[in-house]
Amino acid sequence: MTGNANKVVSIRPALSPLQRALRHIEAHLDAPLSVAALAEVAGFSPFHFARLFTSQVGESPMSHVRRRRLQLAARRLNEVPPPDLIQLAFECGFESQEAFTRAFKQGLGVTPGRFKRNARAMREMMEMPMHAAALPQDRLALLEGIQRRPTFRVAGLAMKLDRASASQIPELWRRLMARLPLPGQTGGEGYGVCWASEPEEGGMSYLGGFEVARDAQLPEDVASLDIPAQSYRVFRLTLDGSSLHPQVQVAMREIYEVRIPREGWQLAEGPDFETYNADFNPMRPGEVLEFWVPVKA
């Protein structure tokens, strides 16, 4: 028996698409980065990459890039002696010292120069934790077959999705429910629609609403979005009675990072949405919601 017979070989698990993108960002904070390039690293289209990234990290891809560059800059400014500002701007991926100063002040509340003079001016920017747990098959079930839906219109209240807005979605729905029925409303099923509102930034927006007639006369503060005719794969999530957002966050990661790559589906560009029945109660154990993911038929 050779001396290597008892050698233990360690096999590292493969990185998920999101992990690949996040590692690429960390390794290239000083280089040009774009949503399209990061999506290619992850193996998704820019739309679906931005959708996954925003749901898991809590901000758009490029907002995250800027924040990580500012965190790097803040650490560098604590060095003794601190680096020259124009050199630091280029090393952190900014095109000029002016752009760096503007972003630094917007993100941390002080200019880099003041920060150099007083390190206590720094404000800690925390990372949003990401949940790696997978959902059991019986809680996140794939419905059989491809579902086809014709064009329809959803109207309601809209907001940009970012780090601060996730906690505001329940309040958006409370304000919307107080205004029902909407003019031209055609049913009681609710829709939570996500679409790319800032493609270059990777920014996503959210619309909570209900289906309305195409000719509905809506108030000025009510947004509407036409969902094009599309084929979908539908996942049904059974809730456990705890807070809704963490369950949705884990389900989104499971759908886009595990189920879809495993099945090899081709995703279609366009809004995806969640549906809620007319008497939906997120705190009721056993309640269900559905994720409609656009795919190429």
Q: Over the stretch 221-240, which tens digit does the pLDDT of each residue have?
A: 999 999 999 999 999 999 99
What average pLDDT does this structure show over 90-94? 79
End residue of a domain, out of 90, 121, 152: 121
Q: Of 79 and 56, which is predicted with more confidence? A: 56
Residues 108 and 173 in one domain: no
Give φ, ψ of 30 to 5 degrees: -95, 5
Percentage of the chain lying above the pLDDT 70 cut: 85
Give one word for 145, left, alpha or beta, with left for phi > 0 and alpha for psi -120 to 50: left
Within-domain flag for 204: yes
Sign of CA dihedral 156, 61, 35, 32: positive
**CATH code of the domain in which 225 resides:** 3.20.80.10
Residue 146 belongs to domain spanning: 140-295
| Total structural domains within the chain | 2
- Residue 108 — pLDDT band, cuts 50, 70, 90? low
Within-domain flag for 133: no
Is 123 strand, coil or helix?
A: coil
- Indicate the average pLDDT of the chain: 84
End residue of a domain, out of 121, 155, 172: 121
Residues 61 and 201 in one domain: no
Q: Of 115 and 251, which is predicted with more confidence? A: 251
Residues 114 and 150 in one domain: no
Tens-place pLDDT, residues 163-218: 667 678 899 999 999 999 999 999 999 999 999 888 888 889 999 999 999 999 99
Tens-place pLDDT, residues 115-158: 765 554 443 333 334 444 556 667 999 999 999 999 999 999 99
Residues 85 and 189 in one domain: no
Residues 74 and 153 in one domain: no
Q: For residues 275 and 191, is the Cβ–Cβ distance under 8 A?
A: yes
Residues 56 and 193 in one domain: no
Residues 264 and 204 in one domain: yes
Residues 144 and 285 in one domain: yes
